[in-house]
Amino acid sequence: MERVHYDVGDIVRMKKKHPCGSDEWRLTRVGMDFGMRCQGCDHFVMIPRVKFEKMCRAIVKKAEESASGEASQDRNTGKN
């Protein structure tokens, strides 16, 4: 089973639309729990990762795409 990697700043599309009409959310926290902010009305929620993975349809925009070039500085150090 393929595991999707999520980062803070990613824009994701959920299967269920928010009452405001938007189905896109921006991740503000990843880990055991995911924090995300609605792109339509700025509503903030936190949900467990397992629930998020069931509700998430796709990543619309990865965080690093908006900051291209700056991520290359620490590429040879790997993950701590």
Residue ranges in contact with Zn ion by CB under 5 A: 18, 20, 38, 40-41, 43
Residue 18 or 61: which CB sits closer to Zn ion?
A: 18
The CB-of-70 to Zn ion minimum distance in angstroms stands at 30
Q: What b-and-e string marks burial along 51-73, b requiring 16 or more CB atoms within 10 Å of the CB?
A: ebeeebeebeeebeeeeeeeeee
20: CB partners within 8 A, 6+ apart: 38, 40, 41, 43
The CB-of-28 to Zn ion minimum distance in angstroms stands at 14
Residue 20 or 50: which CB sits closer to Zn ion?
A: 20
